[in-house]
Every structure is written in structure tokens, then in C-alpha cells.
Amino acid sequence: MQGRDATNSSTAGTATDTDWQRQLDELVAKVDAPGAVFGFQRGDQRLVIGSGTANLDTGQPMTPGTLFPVASVSKVYTATLAMQLVDERLLDLDRPIREVLPDFRVADDRATKELTSRHLLTHTSGLDGDKFDAFGRGDDALARYVEDCASLGQVHDVGATFSYCNSGLMIMGRIIEALRDKTFEAALQEHLLDPLGATRTGMLPEDLIWRPLAAGHLEDETETLAVFHHWEGERSHGPAGGVVTNAVELMDFARLHMDGGVAPNGTRLLSEASARAMVAAEIEVPNPYEESTHWGLGWELSRRPNEPMLVSHGGDLLAHHARFVTCPDADLTLCLLINGDGGDRIADALFPPLLSEAGVTPYKPPQPPETPAKVDLGRAVGTYQTPAIRIRLEAAGDHLDSTLTIISEQIAEMLPPAQRERRQQMVPVADDFYLMSPDDEADPWLPVVFYESGGQHYLHTGLRAVRRTSGGQS
């Protein structure tokens, strides 16, 4: 089924375009963001609406065509480029990375030898996922990033479990560069954006400043919403989070995958086999209380009994956020782009009616029990650590007190001082299942699961595994 570029052109259920616009306007007024764009496509019906302001400094209005950095949604673009190489028999997902990048090296010798592209795409590499070093604006930025991975440590052994990994997708971007013999941006443009007809999508700021772009916004020291005067992303981070696009072209990208690798203009960009492989469950997420239950080749998946499968990816920067969900069985795509905080609250209000019509029970975050479960808190007490963060858990009556500290100087420098250490409570629901209190009362509690894999103990929350380094009762 062909997608269309039309906006504000259809209805869903009994709601009119005016109803959707009113809802979006009301929701934007209640969050810490000056504007947002909401879109959905069901079959050949498409609606894209903007609300509020794209830039508080200039007063630029938000429109359906306003561009946003979509952060980690970019990973699906990178995965698509990788699968095109598979189609051309230039890449074998199960061969060691060193066959393409002979000088590739990480801190762990075994990982250096065994890591494959499949590990990178499925977030099972075990690499520390939050290496965000910058290597300038030159064409060699990704190559220099990968060279610097020689000291990159492991969160877990290769293939032992699942932990969301930005670093792995940056390495995947360098593999694409090597096999295409061109920069990642050029590979994206020539092999995906141009044939897709995505004339507004791009990555580099110098290519995008001529187009209407949503500036990011955060509260300043006086708790006043203000423009965040930074470009959120280094060139070396592009394959993990550097794509800038609008809701219209994002939904065209969704059609490519929902239509088995065929773009809305009729161009085949992926084989049917590769399109299917990207949404096949490769790994089960260890935390069953998260919204996503499995991961494919680039896509996150929600596969629940007697429910249509959801194929999605989110994206979060400091001052921009994206939510992008498809339901292939219902031919439905949803997206929400926002230039400030509050995207989940808007998506949680607008997405459920459309998902319900598609036969999907919208995800509801678990709620804490009125009385904490009686469990042995000592099993969870201890220190959990990655190269980027340290979490200390201490028993405190009927719950755990959690102190999360950013130990990566690079990441700490990106955050306000108040956000470099966070104290929260963790309330037990069952022996190995806790809920962590949110920073804001309006936000949901976060599910935390404790488990063992490969002889190591982990806590898993926010799609990340954090290994226990001391304490605990096995």
C-alpha cells in the first residue's frame, strides 16, 4: 500500500482532524516543551499536525514539515543500510567484525575476536554502550571513534545478555563506511534517502540550517523554558543518533519496512527476506515489565500473547525526544516529535486510542503495591557498575535506597550538576522484581529486574544491564 505526503487529510475512528489538533494543543500546553508534531498513518489515511512553537527565540511556528533530530530512531536507518549490504552479499552478519575492520580492537581480547555485526544490531555485544567521545567534524570522525574503542570495556560478556548499546551502532556505521568506501552520511544519502525520496532528511547541521528546524528547549536556572543553544550530537555519533527528519518523511521510512522493503515511490530498497529478518525476534529483553519484549535487527519489538506485534524505536536527546511505533498487522504508524520534555505524556494520551482500534492493548507501566512485598532485600543489596554509571543499593526498612552516580567524566560534563547523582527508592514487588520511584510524580515508576546470566548478576532497567561488582547474597 502506497504512503502519501498529504497532511491533515483524514480521520481515525470518530475523531476529526480538528479533534486531534485540539488534543495536541491542550497536551503541549501542559508539558515543558514549546511545541510538538504528531502524526499517524493507517492504510492510505495520513494525518500530521504541529502545535506550538519550533523556536522560542524566533517565534517560528511548529508545522508538519518542521525537522527534528530523532536521536536513536537513527539506529533503524543504520540497520537498514547494513541489511542492504547483506542483500548485496557484501556483509555477513555472523562473521567477525575484524574481517571488515582488520584493526578493530576493544579492551577485551575475546570480544575483539568474536564480535559480529549481529551482536551490534541486537545490542548483545556487551560493550559499554555510552562511549560518546567526539572526534571533530572531519570525514574521519567515525574512523577515529572506532580506533579509540581499543580501551572500550565490557558491561557483560559477548552474547551473555541484552544491554542497549549506542557504541555498537557507531561501530556499525564505520563498517558501512568501509564497505561502501564513502562517509556514513554519503552512504545514507545515496543508498537510502535519495531512493526513498526523503528530500528533507539529513544529518549534518551545515546541510540542514536552510530548512525549518525545531530548536531544543530546556528549563534554565530560573526554571524558565529556553532554547538549548547546542547541536545535540557529534559527527562520530551519527549512526546511533544523528538523523534529522520530519514526521512526514519518518512515516515514509516506516512504509518502506511495512511494505516489505519497497519505498512509497515503488523503489525496492530491501529484499523481502531482509525486511522480515529485521522484525524477527533475535533476543528477549531480560526485563519482561518493559514496553519492549524482544529486539530484532535494529528494531525493538513488543510481542505479547494474543496481540498484534508492535515494531518501534524511541529516541532521546537532552532537548529533543521522538516516539515512533508501527503495527504491521493493522498497517498503522504513529509518531510524536517534541522539542522539550513531556513526549511520553503526550504519546501516552494520543497513541492508545489508535492502538486499541488496531487490537493492541496499550502498555501500562506497572504500579507499586500498596504494601511492599516481603522479600530478602539482601539478595539485591550491593554495588552495580558500568564504565559510565555506578548504582549503590542499600536496605532501608521495607525497600531499597538507590544512589546512581555518573562516573564517566564525559557524560557528567554534559549534564547539570544536579543530575550527576540521583537518589531514589526501589520498592519490592516480588523477589527479583522492584519498581523505582520516578524523579517527577507525573512520570511512571521504572521496573527493575535482578537476574543472573553467564555466572554474573545484573540489574536490568531502561533496557540496560548493570553488572553487580560487590555485595549481594547469591
> Would you name the residues annotated as active-site residues?
72
Q: Is the dihedral of CA 296, 301, 303, 304 positive or negative?
A: positive
Q: 165: exposed, middle or buried (C-beta count within 10 Å: 0-12, 13-18, 19+)?
A: buried
Distance CA 422, CA 406 (A): 9
Q: 87 to each of 65, 80, 187, 272, how far by Cα in Å?
A: 32, 10, 15, 10
Residue where the block lists cell 557507531: 170
Spatial CB neighbours of 25, under 8 Å, sequence gap ≥ 6:
51, 52
CB 3 within 8 A of CB 46: yes
DSSP string for residues in 41-105: EETTEEEEEEEEEEETTTTEEP-TT-BEE-GGGHHHHHHHHHHHHHHTTS--TTSBGGGT-TT--
Ranges of beta strands (E only) in 342-445 are 382-385, 389-396, 399-406, 421-430, 433-436
Q: Phi and psi dihedrals of 409, rounded to 5?
A: -60, -35
Q: Write phi, then psi, for 462 (nearest 5 degrees).
A: 55, 35
Distance, in Å, from the CA atom of 207 to the CA atom of 201, rounded to the nearest integer, reads 10
Check: CB of residue 444 under 8 Å from CB of residue 290. no
> How far is Cα 286 from Cα 399, in angstroms, rounded to an integer?
22
The Cα–Cα gap between 119 and 99 comes to 15
